[in-house]
Amino acid sequence: MIASLYISFTKWEIVTPSVWVGLANYARLIRDDRFFLSLYNTAFYVFLGVPLHLFLALLAALAVNLDLRGIRIFRTLYYVPSITPAVANSILWLWIFHPQWGLANGLLQSVGLKGLYWLQDPKLAKPSFIIMSFWTIGGQMVILLAGLKGIPQSFYEAAQIDGANTRQRFWKITLPLLTPALFFNLIMAIIGAFQVFTQAYIMTEGGPNYATLFYVLYLYRMAFENFRMGYASAMAWVLFTIILLFTLLQFRISDRWVFYESSLRA
């Protein structure tokens, strides 16, 4: 109780814009081509990256939930990349994507394909970031795995006695009971992807030809390189509105597919 009061208080303080800026900033935003470009870049990253990312994380979670000897080793291996610091990770992948000496092209050439200009190619730069994001599915995988582990074994035993086969057990028990974890991951992934920053800041600085000028990177430059705090705040509010609408939509839809034990008791 005290804690939540506490929180509401701090958030209040934080959300309140410290400087009132008129609508002039928003008017200028609408005329700013680069703003729309950064929005497009970010949307590209969100709508392509997030679903693929979540799907792969689910597959990984199901795979490492198998009852096999030594499965823990796989869990560890799959998880480890996702704890690498974004900075170290960015520097590493900059090297992997190096058009001349990088591992990515090394592998392509070893199977007889031509190397690509990954981050230097305006068409490929964003997909490169998405590919890079697959490396870190471990974080979501762990949350989904926790969800899988939380499903009481007795449910499966009961289903088996009732003659449900593996597929039915997955669709009727595993997936429904995993929906809270999936929902959580989806929300977090979308919000996170909208705010992609560090990789672009370190690896491409928004290039080539502004192909990886993501929203938050552009905002950062406005605020902390050009010191146009008012403009940046306006951008922040626009982003917030977009994310908010998305999340509300998610919650609206979630009633249809997310299953909570406590909702049975309400």
Partner 1 sequence: MVTKGNASLETTQLARPIVDWGLAAKRIRRALRAAFWYAVLSFFAVVLAMPLAWLVSTSLKTGAQTFVMPPKWIPEPIVWDNYSAAFRAVPFHRYFWNTIQIVVFATLGTLVTASMAAFAFARLRFPGRSFLFGLVLSTIMLPNVITLIPTFIVFRALKWINTLLPLIVPSWLGGGAFNIFLIRQFFMTLPYDLDESARIDGASNFRIYSSILLPLSKPVVATVAIFSFIHHWNDFFLPLIYLQDTKKWTMAIGLQGFKDLYSTSWNLMMAASTAMILPLLVLFFLAQHYFVGGIHLTGIAGR
Contacting partner 1 within 26-55 (CB under 8 A): none
Residue 232 is a binding residue for partner 1 (CB under 8 A) = yes
Q: Is 37 or 234 the residue whose CB approaches partner 1 more closely?
A: 234
Q: What stretches of the chain adopt beta strand conformation (E)?
A: none
Candidate list 41, 46, 54, 78; residue touching partner 1; CB under 8 A: 78
Give the Cα separation of 225 and 145 in Å (integer): 42
Distance from C-alpha of 86 to C-alpha of 92, rounded to nearest angstrom: 10
- Spatial separation of the C-alpha atoms in residues 57 and 162, rounded to whole Å: 30
Q: Which range, of 13-21, 31-39, 44-52, 206-214, touches partner 1 by CB under 8 A?
A: 13-21
Tell me which of 34, 36, 55, 109 binds partner 1, using CB under 8 A. 109
CB of 26 to partner 1, least distance (A): 15
CB of 121 to partner 1, least distance (A): 19
CA dihedral (169, 173, 176, 177) in degrees, to 10, reads: -140
C-beta atoms surrounding 63 within 10 Å:
15
Interacting residue with partner 1 among 22, 100, 165, 225 (CB under 8 A): 100
CB of 266 to partner 1, least distance (A): 10
Q: Of the two residues 27 and 248, which places its CB atom closer to partner 1 in the complex?
A: 248
User: Please, which residues have CB within 8 angstroms of residue 259's CB and are 6 or more apart in sequence?
Assistant: 176, 177, 179, 180
186 binds partner 1 (CB under 8 A): no
Residues 177, 196: Cα–Cα separation, whole Å: 30
Least separation in angstroms between residue 126's CB and partner 1 is: 19
Q: Does 264 bind partner 1 (CB under 8 A)?
A: no
DSSP summary character for residue 207: -
Query: What is the C-alpha separation between 63 and 74, in angstroms, rounded?
Result: 9
Give the contacts of 53 (CB within 8 A, at least 6 positions apart): 133, 134, 137, 140, 189
What is residue 197's DSSP assignment? Answer: -
208 cis-preceded (ω within 30 degrees of 0): yes
> Which parts of 53-72 interact with partner 1 (CB under 8 A)?
60, 63-64, 66, 68, 71-72
- Lookup result for tokens 């034990």: 261
Residues numbered 119-148 forming contacts with partner 1, rule: CB under 8 A: 135, 142-143, 145-147
Q: Which is nearer to partner 1, 40 or 205 (CB)?
A: 205
Binding status of residue 259 toward partner 1 by CB under 8 A: no
Q: How far is the CB of 31 from partner 1 (least distance, A)?
A: 21
Least CB distance to partner 1 at residue 204 (A) = 13
